[in-house]
Structure formats: structure tokens, C-alpha cells
Structure 1
Amino acid sequence: MSKPGASVDAGGFRAAMAQLGAAVNIVTTDGVAGRYGITASAVCSVTDSPASLLVCVNRASRMHAALRANGVLAVNVLTPDHEALCAAFATGGLSIEERFAGGSWQAMNNGVPGLEGALVRLACRIETVTEVGTHAVIIARVEQVVLRGEGEGLVYFDRTFHRLPLTPALSEG
């Protein structure tokens, strides 16, 4: 047990976080700063009223600057069929054009690219950005939800991708 206020070893912390399973997503943006996208697992819901989520992005990345300038984003929740696309969006050496070439994209209501065939597509408007260490915590209001309704999810756990069975979505009334 560590003392209050004691530093936690970064390597130990990363090893612990590898045991925290998370959905795999491609976060996209488009607008005045251009089209960008990254693979992200640091995405989660905040509240359903108003529908909001949070996304964490490294402040040193081009994606962070683009998100701040564009003010909009889409979260595309991946299936196991998207593993190669996920790797492309996580590879720093690929151009934005090369990343997007691997998928079929359709503009969502906010103009941001949504991945056709994604398990879920969420079009969002950025409301607040808080800087925490090396990352920005972005709170975004969800403006459009597109559910595929069937298929398997893709999760990242113990530094490996895993399939997650999905039951058909409940229809909204």
C-alpha cells in the first residue's frame, strides 16, 4: 500500500490499466482544421440527460488541435471486422488519407465521418475540455446515434483484442 500523495510508478500504472477492458473506437473529426481520426479506448458515457460522453486525447497530438478547432467529433464503436482499420488509426506513420482509405465513411449530421458498419456511431458537439497531465478530457454532447443493432463488439484487454458477443439492441420508443 502506498502512502497518500506518493507517486505511482508509470509502468505499474500502465500494467494495471491493461487489465481494465475497454471498447475500441475510432474517434473522427472534420471542419476548419481538417479531417482527422484516432483509435481510442478512453471513451465512456457521462450521462443520458443530456446525452453526453467523454473522450481522452493526448494534448501533443494533431487530433487534439483539430478537435479544439473543429468543435465536433464522432465516436465509431468497432467490431472485430475492424481490427486492421483500428491498427491503421493507431499507427503514427500513416497519413490521414491512408487511415481513412481503409474504411467506408459517411458524413453524420454534424459533418464528421461516421464509419459504415460500425456497431454504433455517435455524432457529438464538444462542450468542455479539461487538461489533465498529458491529456485532454473532452466532454461532448451527443447529437445523433446510429445503432447497427447486431454483431460483436471489439474490446481491448491485457494488450490484446477480444470479441464480445452482442445481443440485438432494444428498439427505442
Structure 2
Amino acid sequence: MIEATDFRDGMSLLTTAVNIVTTEGASGAHGFTASAVCSVTDNPPTLLVCMNQTSRSHAHFIDNKTLCVNVLGAQHEYISNAFASKLGSEERFQQGSWTEMATGAPVLEDALVSFDCEIEHIQEVGTHSVFMCRVVAIKKAEQQSGADESLV
């Protein structure tokens, strides 16, 4: 039998993007730092987002039925730390500059890319909820001046 601590220790070595996942709606604006995000299919464009059911914002994501995955760069470490902390939602959103797209979920203006989504299906697996999210809008960061065009 695999111990949970051995599994977590092993998974901590898996390199992945760090994201701020946000929501806005009748339940207000909420967000959390997540690495458990991946693509499912491009037709229709769908993402999978995992969230711990004990998270204080879990119910708000379910109520709002929308989310935005904001993919962070190294310059966003302070925002990632704020959204992973015990700060309240209002204090978290004081970090960075925010806008919105189709769903109204907060979009980090200088995120590498933001995927604005509607939550279509929720599957409970152990301690987490797996959100299957239809992407309804995408915003990519403006190209940095002097960047090599072939890399974009």
C-alpha cells in the first residue's frame, strides 16, 4: 500500500505551472493557488481543475459555476504566495491588476495566459473536487518588447 506522504513527496517533484484560479458571481470574488490544472481536449476546449473540498472558497466556486485559470510567470510569485496564504479574498485581490472577460471571473491582467471557463461537471474524488471546465475565452499576455518573434 502506498502511503499518502510518499505519494505527496513524489508528486512534489513533478514540475508544473502555477496558477491562480478565480471565480466571481453571487458568492463574490474568490481565488486560490493551484498546480492541479491540465488540458482535457481542444474540441471543445476543456480544462480540468482540482480543488480541495476543505478549501474555504470551495463552495463559492460551486455556487458561481465559473472560474478563470490565470497561468503565472516567475514575476508573479508574490501573487501566488498571497493566494496560498490565509489572507481574505479582498486582500488577495489587492495584489496585481485584475480585469474580466466573458464569465466575469477575475483575470490577472499580466498573466502569461488566462482561460475563462464555465464549470460544466464536478466529480468528487477523495478529498478533492475535479472541475471539468469549458473554456469560453482566452487572453494571452502581450509580447514583451525585444522578444524573439520565433519563440512566441
| TM-score of the superposed pair, with normalisation by structure 2 | 0.93
Q: Does 1:17 pair with 2:8?
A: no
Identify the residue that residue 89 of structure 1 maps to in structure 2. 83
Q: Return the alpha-carbon distance in structure 1 between the equivalents of residues 138 and 95 of structure 2.
A: 23
The question of whether the paired residues in 2 share the 8 Å contact of 1:110 and 1:124 is answered with: yes
The amino acid that maps onto 2:38 is C
Higher radius of gyration, 1 or 2: 1
Q: Return the alpha-carbon distance in structure 2 between the equivalents of residues 63 and 74 of structure 1.
A: 14
The amino acid that maps onto 1:98 is E
The question of whether the paired residues in 2 share the 8 Å contact of 1:119 and 1:150 is answered with: no
Q: Return the alpha-carbon distance in structure 1 between the equivalents of residues 51 and 2 of structure 2.
A: 21
Indicate the RMSD between aligned Cα atoms, in angstroms: 1.4
The amino acid that maps onto 1:54 is L
Identify the residue that residue 147 of structure 2 maps to in structure 1. none
Q: Does 1:69 pair with 2:34?
A: no
Q: Return the alpha-carbon distance in structure 1 between the equivalents of residues 142 and 47 of structure 2.
A: 20
Shift, 1:150, TM fit:
4.0
Shift, 1:25, TM fit:
0.3
Q: Return the alpha-carbon distance in structure 2 between the equivalents of residues 19 and 63 of structure 1.
A: 27
Extract unaligned runs of 5+ from structure 1.
1-6, 152-166, 169-173
Q: Return the alpha-carbon distance in structure 2 between the equivalents of residues 117 and 76 of structure 1.
A: 9
Classify the secondary structure of the residue corresponding to 2:93. helix
The question of whether the paired residues in 2 share the 8 Å contact of 1:57 and 1:63 is answered with: no
Classify the secondary structure of the residue corresponding to 1:82. helix
Shift, 1:122, TM fit:
0.7
Q: Deviations over 1:34-75 (max 9, x none)?
A: 110000000000000000000000011122101110000000
Classify the secondary structure of the residue corresponding to 1:62. coil
Extract unaligned runs of 5+ from structure 2.
145-150
Q: Does 1:56 pair with 2:50?
A: yes
Q: Return the alpha-carbon distance in structure 2 between the equivalents of residues 132 and 150 of structure 1.
A: 39
Shift, 1:123, TM fit:
0.4
Classify the secondary structure of the residue corresponding to 2:81. helix
Q: Percent identity?
A: 50
The question of whether the paired residues in 2 share the 8 Å contact of 1:79 and 1:118 is answered with: yes
Q: Return the alpha-carbon distance in structure 1 between the equivalents of residues 82 and 17 of structure 2.
A: 17
Aligned length: 147
Identify the residue that residue 118 of structure 1 maps to in structure 2. 111
Q: Return the alpha-carbon distance in structure 2 between the equivalents of residues 149 and 139 of structure 1.
A: 28
Q: Return the alpha-carbon distance in structure 2 between the equivalents of residues 113 and 58 of structure 1.
A: 20
Q: Return the alpha-carbon distance in structure 2 between the equivalents of residues 150 and 23 of structure 1.
A: 19
The amino acid that maps onto 2:48 is L
Q: Return the alpha-carbon distance in structure 2 between the equivalents of residues 34 and 27 of structure 1.
A: 14
Q: Please, which of 92, 95, 99 is the counterpart of residue 99 of structure 1?
A: 92
